[in-house]
Amino acid sequence: MAKDRHRTYIIGGAVILALALLLAIWSTVAWCRWKCTCAHFGKDRGITRFHYHDLSIATNKFSDIIGQGGFSVVYSGILNNEQVAVKKIIKDSKGEFKDFLTERATIGNTRHMNVLKLEGWCCTISNFKYWFSHTLDDVMLFLVYELIANGNLHEHLSEKPEVLSWEKRYKIVKGLCSALHYLHHQCSPYILHRDIKPGNILLDNEFNAKLGDFGLSRVAKDGEEIALQTRAVGTALYMDPLCMKDGHVDFRRSSDVYSFGIVLLEIAHGENDPFLVHKLRTDLPETFVKDFADKKLDGKFIKTEMERVILLGLRCTEREENQRPSLITATYFLENGGELRPATAAPA
Q: Please state the rounded mean pLDDT for residues 201-219.
A: 88
Query: Residue 227: its pLDDT value, please?
Result: 44
- Based on the domain organization, do 254 and 284 belong to the same domain? yes
Query: Residue 230: its pLDDT value, please?
Result: 44
Residue where a domain terminates, one of 146, 166, 201: 146
25 Cβ contact partners less than 8 Å away, ≥ 6 residues apart:
none
Chain segment 175-190, per-residue pLDDT in tens: 999 999 999 999 888 8
| 195 belongs to the catalytic site | yes
- Based on the domain organization, do 307 and 195 belong to the same domain? yes
- Based on the domain organization, do 246 and 201 belong to the same domain? yes
Single-letter amino acid code for the residue at 312: L
Number of domains forming the structure of the chain:
2
CATH number, domain with residue 193: 1.10.510.10
Per-residue pLDDT band for 29 (boundaries 50, 70, 90) equals low
Of 195, 213, 256, 294, which one is the catalytic site residue?
A: 195
Which residues on neighbouring strands pair with residue 82, listed in sequence order? 79
Single-letter amino acid code for the residue at 251: F
Distance between alpha carbon 103 and the CA centroid of its chain, in Å? 6
Chain segment 307-328, per-residue pLDDT in tens: 999 999 999 999 999 999 999 9
Taking residue 90's Cβ as centre, other Cβ atoms within 10 Å add up to 16
Q: What is the dihedral of CA 211, 214, 217, 223, to 10 degrees?
A: 50
Q: What is the dihedral of CA 169, 170, 172, 176, to 10 degrees?
A: 140
Domain range spanning residue 101? 48-146
Pairing of strands 72-79, 65-69: antiparallel
Question: Cis peptide leading into 285, omega within 30 of 0?
Answer: no
Residue where a domain terminates, one of 146, 180, 215: 146
pTM here? 0.82
Find out whether 333 and 308 touch, Cβ atoms under 8 Å: yes
- Based on the domain organization, do 183 and 303 belong to the same domain? yes
Q: What is the dihedral of CA 117, 118, 120, 125, to 10 degrees?
A: 140
Query: Counting every residue, how long is the chain?
Result: 348
327-336 helix and 303-316 helix, angle to the nearest 10 degrees:
160
Single-letter amino acid code for the residue at 200: N
Query: Residue 175: its pLDDT value, please?
Result: 97
CATH number, domain with residue 105: 3.30.200.20
Per-residue pLDDT band for 237 (boundaries 50, 70, 90) equals confident
Percent of the chain at pLDDT above 90? 45
